[in-house]
Amino acid sequence: MPPRTRLRVVVDVAVTLAALVLLVLAWTVVEAGVLAWGAQWTALCWAALVLREPQRWLPRRRVRVGADEVRRYRRCGVELFGRALGAVGWNRAVDAGRGFDGTRATLDALEAGTRRSEGAHLLLLGLTVLLAVAGLVLGRPGVAVWSAVLAVPFHVYPVLLQRTTRYRLQRLAALRAD
């Protein structure tokens, strides 16, 4: 990842402020469901443009995934979610962006990509929770409900999917080490 230049910092700040201004303006004008939906997409676009290396928040040694954890995720339907993403072409687009081409040589890129995605989705989940709390505190319960409902497919399941993928990568690494 290239170092941040002064211009890049200015652009990142401008994009962040624009996203916040849009959210604040929409708060009083837009219906709760539309606001929550728009906030999710705005946050995802913001993360794609501004966040550079959220995987640094999730160092490899702290993100080990256990078999029991993956079994719980599977019971929650994470594999079905992953197949749905594959059916719409999302996985191909994301893998290409990560530099993963299905070969052993690019497994490290896939692992770093799972940590990057997990870190970004965890941050956005936190922002979604703040939006839901703001909805409750400021008398917009619809915003709180819609935010909570949309947090599951936009952030919770993507985190579970990243962790499931990383578990498979851990098993592959263990096989290679033997």
Model confidence pLDDT, tens digit, residues 75-128:
999 999 999 999 998 888 777 777 777 788 888 888 888 888 888 898 899 989
**Domain ranges within the chain, ordered by starting residue:** 6-51+65-175
In terms of Cα–Cα distance, which of 127, 163, 120 is closest to 148?
127
What ranges make up the beta strands (E) of 43-175? none
Instruction: Supply the pLDDT for residue 136.
Output: 93
Classify 138 as helix, strand or coil.
coil
CA gap 87, 80 in Å, rounded: 10
Please report, rounded to a whole number, the percentage of residues in the chain having pLDDT higher than 70: 91
Residue 163 has pLDDT above 80, yes or no: yes
Instruction: Supply the pLDDT for residue 151.
Output: 94
In terms of Cα–Cα distance, which of 104, 83, 51, 89 is closest to 164?
83
Confidence of residue 24 (pLDDT cuts 50, 70, 90): confident
Q: Mean pLDDT, to the nearest integer, of 143-163?
A: 93
Classify 101 as helix, strand or coil.
coil
In terms of Cα–Cα distance, which of 62, 64, 15, 37 is closest to 154?
37
Mean pLDDT, rounded, of the chain: 85
Cβ neighbors of 142 (< 8 A, separation 6 or more) are 31, 32, 33, 135
pTM: 0.82
CA gap 37, 8 in Å, rounded: 28
Establish how many alpha carbons lie within 13 A of residue 51's alpha carbon, considering only the half-sphere containing its beta carbon.
22
Residue 59 has pLDDT above 90, yes or no: no
Instruction: Supply the pLDDT for residue 61.
Output: 63
